[in-house]
Chain A
Amino acid sequence: MGFVETFLNWDVFLRSLPLLLTGLKVTALLGGVSIVAGLILGLATALLRLYGLAPLRLLARVCIDVLRSVPILVLLIVVYYALPFVGLRLSPFMSAAVTLSLVSAAYTAEIFRAGIEAVPRGQFEASQALGLSFRHTLQDVVLPQAIRVVTPALTNNSINVIKDTALASVVAMPDLLKQATQAQALEANPTPLIVAALIYVAFLWPLLLLVGRLEQRMATAR
């Protein structure tokens, strides 16, 4: 059998495409939920880490460091297979979403912290001189500037979250990779895997271009 017939088989492609598209839907949903939850949780953790009470600051820091040092796959398997033994049984989707959100939140928290620390000291002092409350200082002065600085980094992190959704296929989640391996076994042909790779690229390339554009805009704005 030739290369094209084996790896780029048109008939297999047509037959497996519907299956792959249902997988893409699951991947997109899981990625979306994890990114949004990770952003919210990450911002909260960053603020806690910077401005919380001393014990909370320490706790936030430990959480961030632990989550950044555990391989995602290990964390996912712990959440999925170990938690049921202490009475917490999450569905495959919930397990994957919780894992990805936690890890994304840890990275997002560090990105936000870097952004907030990059805002010049004078901005804080000026806000104080104007009599702004702490909440308004953050909300109206610091965060808008910080978020602008870290948007490319956040977008990069989001791309990584979407790529990491492929790990969810180990906990019986019908995501894009899982559907591709299923179609591959049904057809005894690796074409669906190649198609899945192309779908990932088609899905993520626009996001990569967006990062480039954002970085460029920031460079000219400076």
Chain B
Amino acid sequence: MTFRHLLLALLTACALVAAARADELVVGANIGNVPWEFADRGGEFVGFEIDLVREAAKRLGHSVEIVNIPFNGLFSAVQSGRIDIALSSMTITDKRLASVAFAQPYYDSAQSLTVIAASRAEGLEDMRDAVIGVDTGSTGDMWTTANRDRYGFADIRRFEGLAPAMLDLQTRRIDGYISDIPALAYYVKDKPQFRVIERIETGERYSMMFARGSRWLEPIDAAISELKEEGFIAALHERWFGNAPAANSSTVRVLDRPQALP
């Protein structure tokens, strides 16, 4: 093969890849964030948000490619166009809306405090001088940092996700872990060595994250409205949490897309 042939073959290959990409949604997911997106025993990516994004994309006639990106990497991945949608039970905040966009919310959430079963602590009030673990830059991180003096936490350790934090909880490097309540409730279900001892109301809501001005934002948002009306998302709630969502929650009601502050 001459150099020109090689170049031609390379260009064709590039064009083919680009064509394949055109009708494929690339979704970045923080795999390991149970029960939203995680790998099952066979290594298949499953979860509430994985089911949701696959169904929404199917309605638009597109296939989905899931890539595993840790929580912190999702922001730059969305902004650089490396992925079209980011999934990580992502909370909509005003600060985030200044840089990225969100579809309408589909889950009302709160934070939670988890300790090991042997701990004597019964709530936040018992965490004076305790070392608290959080996920770097998460809403749990924001809440814990803002309330550090109020509860007298000794130190805040920042982790890249649930698994390493739980290891440090088990080895007692940290005394408590503050993170999203649905993930922790799901995680400790079959692990008697941990307990969730407090629900911390923060009024946060989860949605999918997009780049600002993404061409996928409106169609996916419309698909979510449709799926709410059909009861598909409520069924997902039943499937992954074992109970029906509250009637007036964002899992059931069709809502407006959150807008950035002017």
Residue numbers of A with Cβ under 8 A of B are 1, 6, 81, 84-85, 89, 91-92, 170, 172, 174, 178, 181-190, 193
Contact = CB atoms under 8 A, between A and B. Distances in A.
SS class, residues of chain A in contact with chain B: helix
B99 A1 contact: yes
B63 interface: no
Given A1-B212, A182-B141, A188 B173 contact: no
B11 interface: no
A174 B167 contact: no
A182 B98 CA distance: 17
B136 A185 contact: yes
A190 B76 contact: yes
A87 B125 CA distance: 30
Contacts of B173: 84, 89, 91-92
A172 B157 contact: yes
Contacts of A185: 71-72, 75, 136-138, 141
B237 interface: no
> Which of A81, A85, A185 has most B Cβ within 10 Å?
A185
A184 B136 CA distance: 10
9 contacts: A81-B171, A89-B172, A172-B133, A182-B137, A184-B75, A184-B137, A185-B137, A188-B98, A189-B75
B54 interface: no
Contacts of B171: 81, 84-85, 89
B158 A178 contact: yes
A219 B158 CA distance: 48
Contacts of A89: 171-173
A187 to B, nearest CB: 6
B76 A184 contact: yes
B121 to A, nearest CB: 20
Contacts of B71: 185
Nearest to A181: B72
Contacts of A172: 133, 157-159, 164, 168
Contacts of A193: 76
Nearest 4 A-B pairs (CB), nearest first?
Answer: A185-B137, A84-B171, A190-B76, A188-B96
Contacts of A188: 75, 95-96, 98-100
A99 to B, nearest CB: 16
A189 B158 contact: no
B160 interface: yes
B68 interface: no
B142 interface: yes
A77 B76 CA distance: 26
B137 A1 contact: no
A190 B72 contact: no
